[in-house]
Amino acid sequence: MRRRDFLAGSGSSLLYAMRTPRLVALSATSAPPKRGLRFALDSRCNDDVSIATRQLVASAAIHPLLSVMAGGERQALLETSQLLAHPDELAYNHIILIGLPDDPLIIAASQREARLSSDSLYVFGVGAFRGDCGYVESDRNPFLHAARISSAPYETELITITGTNARGIFLALGAFREHSLVNGVVAGNGWQRAETTLLDRDPLPPRFVIPALAPPRLLDYTRIGITQATEDEYRGVLADTGVSPKLIWRAKYFRLGVWDGVGAAAAFDAYSNGLHRRSYGNSLWLAEFADPPQAAAVAPKIAVAAGLSLKTANLWTGTQSAYANGTYPGERKSSGPLSLAQREEWLVMSTLPDESLSELSSALT
């Protein structure tokens, strides 16, 4: 789906799915409250998940993503049922949801790209599994973009941490806390495929490693999230180059102000700079190939597909296309810069400023 169509339709589809009159009936708030961060825990979760959640809340001040969302404020932990009963709290804050997949608030926030039950998980682009599986997905906060709010005064993000069972949720919580995994599947030992699909990709192990090519700081940006690429993205590289990477990651970076725009004029930039798996703004795309010669052979093909021009040895630069469906008055013709470089067996594509790849080389030496 094209990005503009996705954004235009998501608010109304959410309200249809929720069928919750109290969320529709309230009028827009004339003076929205200060944006903050809210944690919500499904009360049915076991002690291990509850303890891990409280540890996550306690770490908010030092966690790369949570510290950005919290804005220096002390955090509280609510039950999901409590938060569901307060639509303004849902809309005007960043939200972290932790719980079983049949929790009403988690159902309401679902992007419908995953199906979970007490013993199985299916995620588009990863496949179907049985076992201890945790799942993390992120998006702009759908409660802020519902029909009852006439104009968003800023952007808020929503992250759902769930799984097939308590062990799966615990694994997903660990991946979020330790690595800021904002989109991906984590599975414990003994997981099995429930069926074979055309787009299968193995889940992450609990002790996965983030590439060194995604440093915690780059220019004046802070790394706040990591996304596990899905198999459809691997197939896209294969189609463009004839080679499928061994691994693909996307690292999301943040700087002050990118979530502060108001209303429709800022909506597409805010989405692009957000945490959704398809949001490419302010990010590094990292693809590992078999060896440096293979990466060197693939790089020019990816550059051609992306419309980039060779600037110096192993560096291609250009611009991203405009947001889909044309532009509104005042929107830029391009949604930002785009550059590509080879680093040994890795290719790095950046939507940060052009100098980010030069800065990355300095950071790694």
pLDDT at 15 over 50: no
Burial class (CB in 10 A: 0-12, 13-18, 19+), 62: exposed
Q: Number of helices and strands (H, E) in the chain?
A: 12, 18
CA nearest to 162, candidates 239, 91, 108, 243? 108
pLDDT reported for residue 80: 96
Calculate what percentage of the chain has a pLDDT beyond 90: 74
CB half-sphere exposure, 68, CA atoms < 13 A: 22
Distances (CA, A) of 255 to 59, 137, 181: 20, 21, 18
- Model pLDDT for residues 139-157, shown as the tens digit of each residue: 999 999 988 898 999 999 9
H or E element, residue 363: helix 356-364
The pLDDT tens digits for 73-127 are: 878 899 999 999 999 999 999 999 999 999 999 999 999 889 988 788 999 999 9
pTM: 0.89
Q: Which of 167, 109, 99 is nearest to 133 (CA)?
A: 167
Q: If you classify domain 1-202 with CATH, what class do you get?
A: alpha beta
Once rounded to an integer, what is the mean pLDDT over residues 233-244?
Answer: 97
Any idea which residue has 């090519």 for tokens? 213
In three-state secondary structure terms, 225 is strand
Every domain range in the chain assigned CATH 3.30.379: 1-202
Q: Is the CA virtual torsion 54, 58, 61, 62 positive or negative? A: negative
Is 11's pLDDT higher than 50? Answer: no
The span from the CA of 351 to the CA of 332, in Å, is 15
